Amino acid sequence: MLRLQSGDADFGEAFARLVQDRRESGDDVTDDVSRILADVRSRGDVALAELTGRFDGHTPACEADWRIGPDECREAFEALKPELRAALELAAQRIGAFHEAQLPEDRDYTDEAGVRLGAKWRAIDAAGLYVPGGRAAYPSSLLMNAIPARVAGVERLVVVTPTPGGKVSPLVLAAAHLAGIDEIWRVGGAQAIGALAYGTANIRPVDVITGPGNAWVAEAKRQLYGVVGIDMVAGPSEILVIADGNNNPEWIAADLLSQAEHDPQSQAILITDDPVLADSVADRVGVELAMLQTAKVASESWQNNGIIIEVGSLDEAPALANALAAEHVEIATDDPETLFAQIRHAGSVFLGRHTPEAVGDYVAGPNHVLPTGRRARFASGLSVLDFMKRTSFIEMGEDALKAIGPAAIALAEAEGLPAHARSIEARLGI
């Protein structure tokens, strides 16, 4: 775990290295994914079955090996303990309510030149949702991806999920039932992304692919962008906690480890103006690790990527946070709004001492699929808009064309495109 102090002479250089650090896939992953995608594109289900057998120890043969039916999902939902079923239902309700408020409005108006202008929003036809099933299975991610798609009006929702040894998480199936998933396929990895993009005899192609995955899944999405739309290229999880000295070290340590336990490449960073809190949190992390079933992963993440930054004043924190552009930012201070107003780049921000990032992963409402790897500088979390597209329209009568057409003719001629100019001139009788 790295300790930095903003007052040190070499802090600027050390912090620049931190900002530039890439904890994502290398050339070997890129090459592997290229070969897998080419194989799936050329051999379809045959390649998909072979790759699933190689990576998941499960080779699909009959239809039941390929696909999970709605009855199995319904049975999994009905078999849940009442408190767990209620928790999933609460999460689904809150996620749905938040995303319904994101639905965009169509525009239709006539301007002063008499030109009718506007735009109509329409949902895509089919969305592919990747749900991890290797290191961990996340029913919450299924809800976070499927519900915005349903709210947008997507007609066909297709889930792909790896089933190591042929086993699938009942919680994932229960969430699929709650979200009204149309198809669930027992395939994962880069090969599943290829199947969704190109289509096979079994799996019809989709228009957009969303959902988290490992480095191979993220790289497959990157390579296939343009064949299909994607939500984002997601890397390892990140959390940045900005905390003053009035915090409970136990809470802050738990918050940092909530992301460290995802993956050895995850990153947890604390910025504080209190050296005592910095020391206390560093000590408490060791205590918390001893209590975690995920201690092996979380410890590796904290030891290799964890950072505590001591600053002279928390007034320095927003500039550091904007440079890091982290996936998750917690502001645990007496007045979080003051710092929040200065933070321009973050996937999602959690305000106050009683708003742990973990609540946002499940039941708060906003989406937990967020930009990582400093992509919050230019990208946003998953939303209804990722499953929709906008079509603009224009309608003009003769008078409107006379009003603005000559300017278009002049611009077309200046660009050396006489046919463009002629299509307007013909209507104006020029």
- Nearest Cα neighbor of 185 from 8, 87, 60 is 60
CA-closest candidate to residue 185, choices 18, 54, 308, 68: 68
- 3 state SS for 337-354: HHHHCCCCCCCEEEECCC
Specify the DSSP class assigned to residue 366.
Answer: S
Separation CA 357–CA 272 (nearest Å): 17
Any catalytic annotation for residue 327?
Answer: yes
Helices 11-20 and 317-324, packing angle to 10 deg:
30
Q: Assess whether 177 carries a catalytic annotation.
A: no
DSSP state of 27: H
Structure tokens at 61: 């043969």
Are residues 175 and 90 in contact, defined by beta-carbon separation less than 8 angstroms? no
Whether 268 contacts 256, CB under 8 Å: yes
CB 392 within 8 A of CB 115: no
Q: Which of 328, 330, 345, 368 is catalytic?
A: 328
Per annotation, catalytic residue among 219, 238, 261, 327: 327
Q: Which residue spans within 124-262 are E strands per DSSP?
A: 126-130, 156-160, 183-185, 208-210, 229-230, 238-243
Residues labelled catalytic: 327-328
